[in-house]
Chains A and B, each alone.
Chain A
Amino acid sequence: MSQFVIATDAQGATLDDLTATHKSLVVSGSRKVTWLVVGAVPDAVKKLQRRFSFGRVRVVTEAVELSQIDLVVFLEAGDGLQRESLLVANEFLAAQPQVDLLYGDSGHPTDDKSEPFSFARRPGWSPERLRAHCYVGETLIARSDLVVNSGGLNDLVLRHPHDRALRLSENAKAVSRLAAVLTIAKSSDSRPSASLHAVVEHCQRQNIDADCELDASVPSVYVRRRLTKQPSVGVIVATRGTSAEVFGQERVLVVEAVRSLFEKSTYQNFHVVVVADTPTPATVIETLQNIGGARLQVLNYDRPFNFAEKNNLGAMSCESDLILLLNDDTEIITADALEVMVALFNDPQVGVVGPMLLFEDSTIQSAGHIFSPDPTDLYRARNPETSGPQNLLRVQREASSLIAACMLIRRDVFEEVGGLCLGFPGNWNDIDFCLKVQLAGYRAVFTPHAHLFHFESKTRIAKRVDAEVGKLGARWGSVLDDDPYFNPRLQRYTNIWKTDSTSKRSMNEALAI
């Protein structure tokens, strides 16, 4: 069994808080625990030491020599470790020696006597999301050498949990989530906290050139990257030139999609490649050329429909730094959508970026995909005001997959992974593509700060072809079965994930009502 030190910032904590924390340490699964209590009122510490001096827990207030310690647990005053949680964490870390920073789920008290706790079930490691808020929670378990490299125990313990998590993650070799309840928190509020100051400092340390804004209502920090370069964007629009009624008016979808790009977008370093099926009316092509002029190219596509091939053809027919796959039934809402998405590529590890897509009635069309295991648009047809569990829908975050209706891709990554797979002519090509991108070591990032309409029918359900499902599963079955950005303890309910409970509260939590 590893040697643990529990570090608690006791500034402002009451004796009751500290006693509650102490009780949990006794049953936490470790034979002997050193509890470092920093910043407590001296009287309270004396009482603690007097009361617990013969127990399993040794209470100290001075710096601890970490050379004899294997693991450090950062625990808030008043929070308690779940029974046996140190044992579970120890086993996990012994099996995963490369992991040096661990976080897990937490329980939060409720007023409901029949369900005394609600649980914050946390997703897998998501560095982009950590910049927005401390989604990893307050309790972190770190190897002692990581603590030393990140500023030392006494420095870290007194920092804001968000600051602490960012500093530790910057130096960590591998961060992992343990899908088990590690702590029972004192607070009933399970929403992640956020510190603007911590994120600003983090960006400085990591050389992230960005403006950081705090959204106090959520709370979260929006790290808005500055556009230092103006990379060129090749916009690929596959179309048949179809018309449909939108906002009560008949329109040629592709014309309005392209028009909105040229007229609304604040980012203008793009050119458009329209890949038009043969039946596309000549008047539509003429209108498009009038709108785009020299910045628009039309390619004729005369083969049987294959969405993947059409996009590959468009992408290979132009030269640009980035490729935007855009459906013809879309329209820009936020003028800076392209700018926001392009700026995310300042991070060289980002391979794909996707925005928030809305239906015509402004409900959510897609906020990235979830796998459970068949891929679904997250929060489809839900209210866009919903912040989601743990404010999921308000923050930039990594996603397993994004929808190809609007997907911005780094060209070298597109070419490296072989573009969209021609074996998925209609469905799943975006999922397969995003998973290939991640296999190549890049990240797929969803941003809720760029909005577009996607006038897809709400009732359209992707047709399942068994052969395609088999092919997708043969490549990515285990990822589909266990989406890394969700928690195996959550259950799927239509297109949202909620805790495995039939209560109305679990639904309200999932919808953040």
Chain B
Amino acid sequence: MVSPNFDPVVVEQKIAQLALRDSEFAKRAETREQQRQIAKYGSVREYQFPPNTSQIHVTNWVHKKWLRPFRFMFRNMPRPLRKLVKRLSA
């Protein structure tokens, strides 16, 4: 169970070994990723998350500002016409 003789030197050695293993895995993952990116885009790109995808930034395309007048028009259309648009889009 709990190491009876907790030796900070031994623990530090183990942590250093962990860091070494981590860097090996990182290298493996990075090589694989580079190969995938080259196959997909032809070059390695610098990775960034797309804007507005974090939890606080809710972006559903229907809420885009420029769509507001169109949504207004759509909502005020006669019902049969709205149904027709929906059916065509589906």
- CB-based nearest A residue for B32: A439
- CB-based nearest B residue for A414: B18
- The residues in B between 1 and 45 inclusive whose CB is less than 8 angstroms from any CB of A are 1-3, 6, 11, 14-15, 17-26, 28-30, 32-33, 36-37, 40
Q: Which B residues lie within 8 Å of A115 (CB)?
A: 86, 90
- CB-based nearest A residue for B34: A474
| Measured CA separation A461–B57 after assembly (Å) | 11
- The residues in A between 468 and 513 inclusive whose CB is less than 8 angstroms from any CB of B are 469-470, 472-478, 492-495, 502
- CB-based nearest B residue for A273: B2
- Whether B47 lies near A313 (C-beta < 8 A) is no
- Whether B55 lies near A376 (C-beta < 8 A) is yes
* A213 contacts B by Cβ under 8 Å: no
- Whether B55 lies near A478 (C-beta < 8 A) is no
- Whether B55 lies near A318 (C-beta < 8 A) is no
B37 in complex: contacting residue of A273, A372, A477, CB < 8 Å: A477
Convert A326-362 into 0s and 1s, putting 1 for each residue whose CB lies closer than 8 angstroms to a CB of B.
0000000000000000000000000000000000000
- Whether A372 lies near B53 (C-beta < 8 A) is yes
- Whether A494 lies near B58 (C-beta < 8 A) is yes
B-side binding surface: helix, strand, loop or mixed?
helix
- Whether A114 lies near B86 (C-beta < 8 A) is yes
Convert A264-305 into 0s and 1s, putting 1 for each residue whose CB lies closer than 8 angstroms to a CB of B.
000000010100000000000000000000110100000000
Q: Which A residues lie within 8 Å of B1 (CB)?
A: 232, 271, 295, 318-320
- Whether B22 lies near A418 (C-beta < 8 A) is yes
| Measured CA separation A367–B90 after assembly (Å) | 32
- The residues in A between 51 and 101 inclusive whose CB is less than 8 angstroms from any CB of B are none
* B75 contacts A by Cβ under 8 Å: no
Q: How many residues of A contact B (CB 8 A)?
A: 51
- Whether A493 lies near B49 (C-beta < 8 A) is no
- The residues in B between 33 and 88 inclusive whose CB is less than 8 angstroms from any CB of A are 33, 36-37, 40, 46-50, 53-56, 58, 60, 62, 83, 86-87
- CB-based nearest A residue for B35: A478
- Whether B90 lies near A316 (C-beta < 8 A) is no
B46 in complex: contacting residue of A319, A464, A470, CB < 8 Å: A470
| Measured CA separation A271–B54 after assembly (Å) | 37
* A419 contacts B by Cβ under 8 Å: yes
- Whether B55 lies near A470 (C-beta < 8 A) is no
Supply 6 further A-B pairs (C-beta < 8 A) apart from A113-B87, A461-B54, A473-B48: A114-B83, A373-B49, A439-B32, A461-B55, A473-B47, A495-B55
A residues in contact (CB < 8 Å) with B:
113-116, 232, 271, 273, 294-295, 297, 309, 312-313, 316-320, 372-374, 376, 380, 415-419, 421-422, 435-436, 439-440, 461, 464, 466, 469-470, 472-478, 492-495, 502
Q: List 21 A-B contacts (CB under 8 A).
A: A113-B87, A114-B90, A273-B2, A297-B2, A297-B6, A312-B15, A316-B11, A317-B3, A317-B6, A319-B3, A372-B53, A376-B54, A376-B55, A422-B22, A469-B49, A473-B46, A475-B29, A477-B47, A492-B53, A493-B60, A502-B62
